[in-house]
Structure 1
Amino acid sequence: MMIRPAELAAIRAGTIDLAFRRWARPRVVVGTRMRTGVGLIEVTSVEEVSVSRLKAEDARRAGAPSLAALKEALAARSSDPAWRIGLAYAGPDPREALRSAVPDADEIASILARLDRLDASSSYGAWTRETLDLIDLNPAVRAPDLAAQVGRETQDFKKDVRKLKELGLTESLAIGYLLSPRGEAVVDAGLAEPRVRAPRATGTPLPRSIGAPATRALREAGVTTLEQVAAYSEERLAAMHGVGPIALARLGEALAENDLAFAT
């Protein structure tokens, strides 16, 4: 179930708790928990509805600008039933805590065994260590560029990286990836000496929802955290090529969530 970044932020804030979809049959059930950019979103209800009986309150709770706009959005695929889905923020993604949990020797052995099984079941061949090493040596590099370095199709490469993310070994950035502390420990376990890496950036990461052009523009200015964004006014940020109105809105939302604000 796809949910736009602005809607995810509103669900987390509690200002949106409904979504409406046209589906031939429900694609989620009550209790489904979806991992998103803001954390876990839980499905609290699923019921078929008549579009003609929707009310302005439904539109407000779904984040639609008006009842007419909600009905217009549901006009497509009118042969499929309309569904009202209740949604609620269910807390942070548990993989966040897993990523920062540095494993001991027994855990590393267990993780390596899991990586061996992933390699054995892959038509590509052994890829797990290659991919971890590639990300470690090329942090924050676009997935297509990483895939090209090892002669792989981008979508297949990204699918495999998601498997490593499930193990808490990698984290996704607005552009590219980074090994988590857990992933670094696993990689270092296979080296004669721990790899020397650049210090991790401190502060709150930029939201991925701002998009790649805005992320690149901010990085070129040396801005990689929300705390650094707070030193800039909206006017200065808007003057950066790639930082448009949508990116500014997403930054403003992220700043507010972290008790920060643009400089005046």
Structure 2
Amino acid sequence: MMIRPAELAAIKAGTVDLAFRRWARPRVVVGTRMRTAVGLIEVTSVEQVGVASLRAEDARRAGAPSLAALRAALAARPDDPAWRIGLAYAGPDPRELLRESIPDADEIAAIHARLDRLDGASAHGAWTRETLDLIDLHAGVRAPDLAARLGRETPDFKKDVRKLKELGLTESLAIGYLLSPRGQAVVDAGLPEPRVRRPREEGTPLPRAIGAPATRALRAAGLTTLEQVATRSAEELAAMHGVGPIAIARLREALAEQGAELAEE
């Protein structure tokens, strides 16, 4: 179930608790917890509704500008029934907490055992340590470039990196990946001495939703965190090649979630 960034922020804030979709059949069930950019979103109800029965209160709770706008949004695919989905913020993504958790010796041994099982189940041989090391040495590098270094197809490489993310060992950046503190501890445990790394950047990372072209343009201008972006106006951002209206809208949404905004707004 796709939910726009602005709606996710509103669900987290508690100002939106409904969504409406046209589906042939329900794609979520009560109790479903979805991992999103703002944390876990839980489905609290699912029921079929008639579009004509919707009221202004439904539109307000869904974050729609008006009842007419909500009905217009549901005008597509009229042959599919409409569904009212109750939504609630269910807390941070557990992987975020896991990433910051530094494992002790027993945990590191258990993680390595898990990595061994992933290697053993792979059709292309052992890959986990090589991939962790590659991400560690090339943080923020595009996934296709990392995959090419290993002679692998990008979709399969990304699928494997997601397995490492589930273990709390990697983080996804707007472009590329980064080892989490937990992942760094696991890698360092296999080295003669801990690896010297650049200090982690302070601040909130740029949202992935802005896209790679906008991310590259902002990085080139020295803007690598939301806090830095907030020092610029929308006009200044729009003047950067690769930063279009959609990217600026996503940046506004991400800043609003933190109670901030672009300069001169």
Place the TM-score, normalised by the shorter chain, in its bin: over 0.9
Mean Cα displacement is larger for which, 175-184 or 209-218?
Answer: 209-218
Write the mapping of 1:41-190 to structure 2, written as runs, cut at 5 A. 41-190=41-190
Whether the 8 Å CA contact 1:147–1:153 is kept in 2: the answer is yes
SS class of match (1:114) = helix
Number of the residue aligned with 1:243: 243
How many residue pairs align between the two structures? 264
Q: CA deviation at 1:229?
A: 1.6
Percent of residue pairs bearing the same amino acid type: 82
Write the mapping of 1:19-30 to structure 2, written as runs, cut at 5 A. 19-30=19-30
Whether the 8 Å CA contact 1:45–1:86 is kept in 2: the answer is yes
Q: CA deviation at 1:155?
A: 1.5
Mean Cα displacement is larger for which, 42-51 or 60-69?
Answer: 60-69
Whether the 8 Å CA contact 2:9–2:257 is kept in 1: the answer is no
Whether the 8 Å CA contact 2:34–2:42 is kept in 1: the answer is yes
1:128-151 CA deviation, whole Å, 9 max, x = no partner? 112111111111111122112212
Distance 2:24 2:228 in 1: 46
Distance 2:172 2:68 in 1: 37
Mean Cα displacement is larger for which, 146-155 or 63-72?
Answer: 63-72
Whether the 8 Å CA contact 1:37–1:208 is kept in 2: the answer is no
State the 4+ residue runs in structure 1 displaced beyond 4 angstroms: none
Whether the 8 Å CA contact 1:203–1:225 is kept in 2: the answer is yes
Q: CA deviation at 1:81?
A: 2.5
SS class of match (2:41) = strand
Distance 1:15 1:142 in 2: 36
Q: CA deviation at 1:184?
A: 0.7
Q: CA deviation at 1:34?
A: 0.6
Give the direction of change, closer, same or farther, for the CA distance of 1:234–1:72 in structure 2 (3 Å limit): closer
Q: CA deviation at 1:51?
A: 2.1
Query: Are 1:263 and 2:251 counterparts?
Result: no
Give the direction of change, closer, same or farther, for the CA distance of 1:256–1:5 in structure 2 (3 Å limit): closer
Which residue identity lines up with residue 6 of structure 1 in the other structure?
Answer: A
TM-score by length of 2: 0.92
1:6-64 CA deviation, whole Å, 9 max, x = no partner? 22122222232211222233221212111111111111111111223222332332233
SS class of match (2:45) = strand
Which residue identity lines up with residue 152 of structure 1 in the other structure?
Answer: R
Superposition CA RMSD, Å:
1.8
TM-score by length of 1: 0.93
Distance 2:231 2:71 in 1: 42
Q: CA deviation at 1:246?
A: 2.4
Number of the residue aligned with 1:199: 199
1:100-134 CA deviation, whole Å, 9 max, x = no partner? 11111110000000111111112222111121111
Q: CA deviation at 1:231?
A: 2.2
Gaps of 5+ in 2: none
Mean Cα displacement is larger for which, 124-133 or 56-65?
Answer: 56-65
Give the direction of change, closer, same or farther, for the CA distance of 1:22–1:202 in structure 2 (3 Å limit): same
Whether the 8 Å CA contact 2:5–2:253 is kept in 1: the answer is no
SS class of match (1:197) = coil
Distance 2:61 2:170 in 1: 35
Number of the residue aligned with 1:217: 217
